[in-house]
Chains A and B, each alone.
Chain A
Amino acid sequence: MTRLKAEQRHAVRFTLNGKPVEGEAEPRMLLSDFLRHQLGATGTHVGCEHGVCGACTIVVDGMLTRSCLSLAVQVDGCELKTVEGLAPSADRLGVLQQALRRNHALQCGFCTAGILMSLDHYLAKNPAPTEAEIRDLLSGHICRCTGYTPIIRAALDAAAELASSSKETSDA
């Protein structure tokens, strides 16, 4: 394991939403701060910085990760996915994003990025979730605006839509 000098800035390179990025960070810099303030990827939000609220959740090498509990230097060489990588194009929303909009599953939108990342990651592996499973998954996210139930409805809607579209694709 490389030992990093606390007082120095170190080069950090990784893949963010499929594109190579790089910057410099002191060893103590949080990944959430690096994404937001060094790379300008401000879609990932910071709500508590102690791993409870879930707003900063991203995907690192295929694993859901609290970016506020990770250091930037830890993800050198990794593949990261954040909310900015979810939409198929800048002017279109993906199926999950559309489902949240249709179900009024967000109000202020501050916690939404983390919730989207958890759901996107989960639905890819669990195409037919139950309400109980979605509630369990999202218990690691705090939303103060919606009362959660529209988010759960949106997740189930999106799962159903994704399942039917993949069925159509496989039938074709």
Chain B
Amino acid sequence: MLQAVTSANPGNGDEPWVGRSIERVEDAALLSGRGRFIDDLGVAPGTLHATILRSPHAHADILSIDAEAAKRLPGVAAVLTGSDVKAVTTSLVVGVKAPVECWPIAIDRVRYIGEPVAVVLATDRARAEDAAELINVEYSPRGAVVDPLGAIAPGAPVLHDGFPGNLASDRSFRYGDPEQAFADAPHRFAIDIRYPRNSCTPIETYGVVASHDAGEDAYEVLANFQGPFSIHTVIARALKVPGNRLRLRTPPDSGGSFGVKQGVFPYIVLIGAAARITGRPVKWIEDRLEHLTASVSATNRATKLSAAVAVDGKILALDWDQVEDCGAHLRAPEPATLYRMHGNLTGAYDIRHVRIRNRVVVTNKTPTGLNRGFGGPQVYFALERLVQRIAIGLGLDPLDVIKRNLIDADAFPYRTATGALLDSGNYQEAVARAVEQGRLAELKAKRDAARAQGRLYGIGFTAVVEPSVSNMGYITTVLTAAERRKAGPKNGAQATATVGLDPVGSVTVHVASVPQGQGHRTVLSQVVADVFGLQPKDIRVNTEIDTAKDAWSIASGNYASRFAAAVAGTAKTAAERVAGKLARVAASQLNVEPADITFAKGFVASKHNPENRIAFSRVAALSHWSPGSLPDDAGHTIRETVFWTPPELTPPDDEDRINSSLCHGFIFDFCGVEIDPITLETRIDRYVTMHDCGTILHPGMVNGQIRGGFAQALGAALLEEYAYAEDGSFLTGTLADYLLPTTTEVPEPEIFHMETASPFTPLGAKGVGEGNCMSTPVCLANAVADALGVADVTLPLVPSRLAELVRGAEPPPPAGGATTAAVREGDRRLRGEGAASVKGAPEQVWAMLLDPATLQSVIPGCQRVDKVTDTHFRADVTLGIGPVNGRYRADVELFDLDPPRAVTLRGVATGALGFGNAEGRITLAPDGNGGTRLSYIYDAAIGGKVASIGGRLLDGATRVIIGQFFTALARKAGGGDAEGGGFSLFALLAKAVSLLGARR
């Protein structure tokens, strides 16, 4: 069922524009191919194009980088490595006090797959990529750790000496008297969860165009960065210039962000440095593999949560133990994901006693950053799963446990135990309306009927407080009170808006909100049109930012769902300030009191005598043409810039209470899901989502945010995970591996609204963009747990995982046969064995296997084989599937020679698309007909790019490669057949790493 929310027709002009779903001013250009995204804009002649060579290892020392061949390629201007970049920059600021550095490119050591190792600058991208393939990097691998609890276990490989035991921060908090509450409570419930890594993955990737003026030592950067502009200070510091020498601009359009494009900032530093070193403008556009592998992700988190509970289900205290995994570097603003929710760790519930231990750890994975929901999904997955467990444990209805614990409607504004000031709401009323309008009784009857037929049907519930407009000071909660006193106060959320009038009286609005598709220009035109009595089409809104010319603050940008609550309200305030001055001008012209002035239908008029009026444009233009005609007290009316920050956003207090966000919307969701008993696929039967986001400015856009967040959350719940093998290999480097929801999975949620205005914002609005990313994953998980009758469920709820829950682990395949063992989860090793018949006696085959000339002729794509010693070979191999070619260097040694019966081969292959190492044993035996029976067993590990993009195809492709090699060997020997393949170490390694390489 689809709910139609189409644009409202303009009314008669009396009712306000705010609150109406008018058509978006952004759309005509976007629908006609006239959007202006970063890669659509031209660059200056002579601009160099960058490509980034990235680490194929999760953790390794860089022994050497040989870029000579790459530099000699025509069109290549430079190849930069860590030391080159380090010479012109300083380390990025790290968010905790520790002797740790964070660079935008690897310095001597790589710590995650995809970490930049070299930047190639050439006249075009293709040439830069050609050159990148010619760079030889020698690595010495180290042990890798990808699990957050594994990282803090004794003996784990250490990433940074400044983070002993990989622990970047360890803080404990105590609010109320949790120990007493737990001691007194009749029940204690606990849950132990792992929240996976995922990302909201915008369809447009990162882009940066940078130039450097050596005369003034000033950078000019265009990037599809989304803010927060606190990061501007981080970038400027890293580039070693004061803020006024870093001009950062954004393109007019951005192809989605959802927090993710905050993570472009290390590349601003990297590309800025490249522009400075080469003395030329440099452009870099990220590709999809780079984005999935190495842009940024949400944090994964291991959480233990316990609750002290009364017999009626009332939660008396919570005990949180959170271990946050921020990846290989603690990049600004991390560990913000962990602290953004600090004031909201009691959710929508009235719980006065809370104990918290927050640990931040580093692992050999991509560094984390902003992502829609930002800490909310991780917190609510634990809290709301626990609420369901409490209900089951006490034999209560989960909805009753939710209702028993909700904050009372008359308690607002309500200060949570951990410090958040919840601005407004009526949670009981919202739940009641959702139950009624969403037809919960009918859904329950449906569940009962389905279960009576033996079907797997479940219902899940979630209640969530959605924070918005974050306090710039919340992150300082990671510091102790003493450290905070030393560092000075940080707090607030400065929003800014400028309203200007031009010489013909038309209105221009500028804000620093940096929209990424949300339609800010449309809403601002509504807000300002209402103030001036104009129509939205009369208001021209610009949302590009240029830090050299525009009003902005560290809080500027598009994050924390701050637009409706903070930015739109600030624009209203700025417009009202201009209107107040215009009223005085008009009052003097119309001979009335300013209080008698009204703005309506394009005129400034007397309220008492509407005929006594003057055209808005005339009043608005006067300050340009005849400032002398203005009344003395009016001042100019040309332009007003307003900065607005709410007084409620104070720094953390000495007891570590923090009002981490200004506004708090409320969401209550419930859903019915059915699970296919054979495939264990989860189908959403009905999803009901009730929102109270305060005053709604544009219903169509609010529902758009809800639907979009819901779809992303559905992906997080059912499909998406940035998967890593235990060795740190990244396994989901394409959109065929990292599965995003499509039209076949996403139903229309039933959306309901309640509007309890926020007393803290100029328009009464609260944020709404992130709520479903917090509520929906756990709501679906609760429903699946209900359907299957299981206590623990882990995201994403893919069928294979549910099958393990319901049916136990899959048994191993039957032994025997020429098979390549299936790749097990978390294990990148390929194992296999097989046999083949070859004409010729074992002695003859033996000689062939050890003869470089024969090998060169039978290994597919082999350029040359060099014999270093009798048992040591080096080979250059160029291999590809379809149009994708890659060059590899293989180094192989022979051991345990037992001529002509058996030999063990051990070797490594490296190339642009990855690396491999393998060991295999070949045995030769006479087949009784003058030929040879050859059998083999091998064990290979493959990593780097190929594991990210071709992991799921490696088994099959390996068999093909082996078959190719053996057919050639048999032919060389004078006929014969391979059974189920054959064995070639060179071919196996080289071919496997060449699979499906992505080249532009």
Contacts and interface: CB of A to CB of B under 8 A. Distances in A.
Interface of A: 26, 28-30, 33, 36, 41-50, 52-53, 55, 82-84, 86-87, 90, 93, 97, 100-104, 106-113, 116, 131, 134-136, 138-153, 156-157
Nearest to B712: A144
A131 B288 CA distance: 31
Interface in B508-538: 516-519
Contacts of A41: 33
B591 interface: no
A151 to B, nearest CB: 8
A42 B517 contact: no
B5 interface: yes
Given A110-B256, A145-B517, A30 B33 contact: no
Contacts of B742: 138-142, 148
Contact of A109 (B26, B700, B743): B26
Given A106-B31, A112-B30, A45 B255 contact: yes
Contacts of A48: 203, 288, 734-735
Contacts of B203: 45, 47-48, 53, 55, 108, 110-111, 142-144
B40 A42 contact: yes
Given A104-B7, A109-B255, A146-B708, A50 B735 contact: yes
Nearest to B125: A33
Given A45-B204, A109-B253, A146 B707 contact: yes
Contacts of B700: 104
B746 A149 contact: yes
Contacts of B255: 45, 47, 108-111
24 contacts: A42-B35, A45-B204, A49-B1000, A52-B734, A52-B736, A84-B33, A97-B31, A107-B518, A107-B704, A108-B203, A108-B254, A108-B255, A109-B27, A109-B255, A110-B37, A110-B253, A110-B255, A111-B203, A113-B33, A134-B743, A136-B743, A146-B708, A149-B3, A150-B707
B608 interface: no
B126 A103 contact: no
Nearest to B733: A50
A104 B998 contact: no
A18 to B, nearest CB: 15
B6 interface: yes
Interface in B156-203: 200-203
Contact of B708 (A36, A46, A144): A144
Interface residues of B, number: 62
Contact of A50 (B704, B736, B748): B736
A43 to B, nearest CB: 2
A1 B243 CA distance: 58
Contacts of A97: 31-32
A141 to B, nearest CB: 7
B816 to A, nearest CB: 37
A104 B21 contact: yes
A139 B287 CA distance: 22
Interface of B: 2-7, 21, 23-24, 26-28, 30-35, 37, 39-40, 126, 200-205, 253-256, 258, 287-288, 516-519, 700-701, 703-704, 707-712, 734-736, 740, 742-744, 746-749, 998, 1000
Given A141-B742, A144-B203, A149-B707, A93 B31 contact: yes
A139 B35 contact: no
Q: In this complex, which of A86, A139, A143, A151 has the most chain B Cβ atoms within 10 angstroms of its Cβ?
A: A143
A139 B519 contact: no
A108 B734 contact: no
B6 A144 contact: no
Nearest to B734: A50
A45 B748 CA distance: 27
Nearest to B258: A144
B562 to A, nearest CB: 17
B32 A87 contact: yes
A48 B288 CA distance: 5
Contacts of B998: 49-50
B205 to A, nearest CB: 8
Contact of B2 (A46, A101, A108, A131): A131
Contact of A43 (B34, B704, B740): B34
A103 B6 contact: yes
A83 B33 CA distance: 6
Q: In this complex, which of B27, B518, B998 has the most chain A Cβ atoms within 10 angstroms of its Cβ?
A: B27
A103 B2 CA distance: 11
A52 B662 CA distance: 40
Nearest to A29: B126
B743 A138 contact: yes
Given A53-B735, A110-B256, A144-B202, A104 B24 contact: yes
Given A101-B28, A144-B712, A153 B2 contact: yes
A3 B517 CA distance: 44
A115 B5 CA distance: 20
Nearest to A149: B748
Given A43-B32, A48-B735, A108 B253 contact: yes
Q: When A and B form their complex, which 5 residue pairs have the shortest distance between CB atoms, in order from nearest? A: A43-B33, A108-B517, A109-B30, A110-B255, A147-B707
A145 B27 contact: no
Contact of A148 (B33, B518, B711): B711
A86 B21 CA distance: 25
Contacts of A83: 31-33
Contact of B4 (A28, A131, A144, A153): A153
A71 B711 CA distance: 33
A107 B748 contact: no
Nearest to A104: B700
Nearest to B519: A107
Contacts of B32: 43, 83-84, 86-87, 90, 93, 97
Nearest to A30: B1000
A156 B709 CA distance: 23
A46 B736 CA distance: 16
A93 B256 contact: no
Contacts of A156: 2
A24 to B, nearest CB: 13
Contact of B746 (A28, A50, A147, A157): A147
B647 to A, nearest CB: 33
Given A144-B256, A146-B707, A149-B746, A100 B6 contact: no
Given A84-B32, A100-B31, A102-B6, A146 B704 contact: yes
A131 B126 CA distance: 42
Contacts of A93: 28, 31-32
Nearest to A108: B517
Nearest to B706: A147
Nearest to B31: A97
B287 A49 contact: yes
Contacts of B23: 101-102
Nearest to B260: A144
Contacts of B740: 142, 144
A27 B443 CA distance: 58
Given A43-B32, A146-B711, 8 more contacts: A29-B126, A101-B31, A104-B6, A109-B26, A109-B27, A139-B744, A144-B258, A153-B2
B253 A135 contact: no
Nearest to B710: A147
B547 to A, nearest CB: 22
